Structure formats: C-alpha cells, structure tokens
Amino acid sequence: MTRLAGKVAVITGAGRGIGAAIASAFVREGAAVVLAELDIALARETAARIGSADKVLAVQTDVTQSASVQNAVSEAEAKFGPIDVLVNNAGINVFCDPLTMTDDDWRRCFAVDLDGVWNGCRAVLPGMVERGRGSIVNIASTHSFKIIPGCFPYPVAKHGVIGLTRALGIEYAGRQVRVNAIAPGYIETKLTHDWWNEQADPAKAKQATLDLQPMKRIGQPEEVAMTAVFLASDEAPFINASCITVDGGRSALYHD
C-alpha cells in the first residue's frame, strides 16, 4: 500500500470522524501525516492508534486562526519536510432558522467552515506554488449543492467551499497545484450522532435518515477517506477544481 509513499500531508480536524479515517488511510498508503486538531488529547490518542511517531504528528490547531494553521504547517515541515497534501476537513454543523439565528451563530459557522478552509490553503499554497506541485482536498458536503430548511447557514458556507476550491484550482493550475473537493452525504460520525440525539426522538430521526438513502445505509468515514487518498495521490493528476460526491447516490434521487 504505497499510493502516497514519500508524501507529507496535513489534515485538519483529524482527531476523529472523517478526518481520523483520512489520516489513517494516508498512513496506510505510506504518507507522513500531521493531525492538525483543536482537541490535542484526542489528536494524540488518534495519532498513537494509526501509526508510529516517525510517521504521525499531532499539533494543536484552531483552523479559525490563521497563525495557528501556519504554525501546524511549520511544525509539519520541520519534522517531515515540504507539504504535498492538505486536507481541509475540520467543520462544524450550525443549523439555525435564518431569522432567529444570532450573529454569533453566523460567525462561528463561517469561521470554521469557510475561513478555516481558506486559512489552510493560504498556509500551504506559497510552498506548493514555489515547488510546482501539491494537492489540496477540501471536505465540502452535499449541502454545497442542496438545501434542507432549518440548516442555515451551514450550506451557505459549504457552497463557499466549492467556490473557493474552483477559484484556487484555476488560480494555481499552471503551477500543477490541484485543488479539489469531496462532498459527503450522510456519514456516520459524532456529528451525525449528535444531530440525531438533538431530535425529539433520536431513533426515529436516525430511521428517517436511513429511509432517505438509495443504498439503505449511511456512509462510513473510510468511504470518504478512500476518495481523499485518490485525489491526494498521483492517480488523479488531471483532476482539478472539481468535486466528487460520496453519498451513495442520495443527491441524484428525485424521490422514491
């Protein structure tokens, strides 16, 4: 398993969920990986589980702070060398009614879900552009294309992630820096469990989610990770400014 052999990758929000699955898959494929995560205890625990200290490093990182992301990139470079791959995975759900949402809800959502992605890109792009190689993978969402009422402003920020992906992909295409996105549908992580648990009847809410799925199951983080490996690897050299949907067909379905 050497599809990412010799590559150095930074993955934000990699302590658990989709980010942890991506980190684990990258290590399996031969990459040296930095887990840039808010919760450093969680990141260290995940790092110890997925690989040895000579291949995996946990760095406390808040993606809302550009200096914090820059620090993670500097630590990654100091330990492993120049960054080949960045996965902007950290994200939060902020699901509100537009007119009762507070200013803080709006800012919190954009700070993580859009500014956080830009902060990551800005930290690695100068080096990638200078070296004339690099792959950035932004974790968007099917909320980047579709709207569910009551989920404002998360889809607004996630639409922005696609815009950012396309703009930067075009801007640096001539330097062989590829910027792509993955749009997961329902994937079973703490994020989805938290959402079900907030509903009046969690079991019913989970069943309602299942009933929406053409494949009659919810996706697993590893299924997103496999796509991230592909986009990060040299198997996708001409895929740029693009988005791959990983949702079991859900967003293609009109209705049952």
CB 6 within 8 A of CB 26: no
Residue 139: CB minimum distance to ligand NDP, A: 4
Alpha helix segments (H runs only) across 111-183: 116-131, 154-171
Residue 169: CB minimum distance to ligand NDP, A: 18
Q: Rounded CA gap, 102 and 107, in Å?
A: 9
Place of tokens 């990139």: 73
- Cα separations in angstroms, 13 against 59, 88, 243: 10, 8, 20
Q: Rounded CA gap, 165 and 6, in Å?
A: 25
Residue 29: CB minimum distance to ligand NDP, A: 19
CB-based closest residue to ligand NDP: 91
Q: Does 191 bind ligand NDP (CB under 6 A)?
A: yes
Residue 23: CB minimum distance to ligand NDP, A: 11
CB 95 within 8 A of CB 157: no
Question: Per-residue x/- marks for ligand NDP, 194-233, CB under 6 A?
Answer: ----------------------------------------
Sites for ligand NDP among residues 7-46 (CB under 6 A): 12-13, 15-19, 37-39
How many residues at the interface with ligand NDP, by CB under 6 A? 29
Sites for ligand NDP among residues 60-119 (CB under 6 A): 61-64, 89-92, 112, 116
Q: Rounded CA gap, 11 and 34, in Å?
A: 6
Q: Which of 190, 202, 217, 234 binds ligand NDP (CB under 6 A)?
A: 190
Instruction: Count CB neighbours of 123 within 10 A.
Output: 24
For ligand NDP, the closer CB: 30 or 45 = 45
Active site residue 154: yes
Region class of 7: left (phi > 0), else alpha (psi between -120 and 50), else beta: beta
The catalytic residue among 154, 172, 186, 254 is 154
Reference 43, options 71, 9, 18, 15; nearest CA is: 15
Using CB under 6 A, list all residues that contact ligand NDP: 12-13, 15-19, 37-39, 61-64, 89-92, 112, 116, 139, 141, 184, 186-187, 189-192
Q: Which residues are catalytic?
A: 154
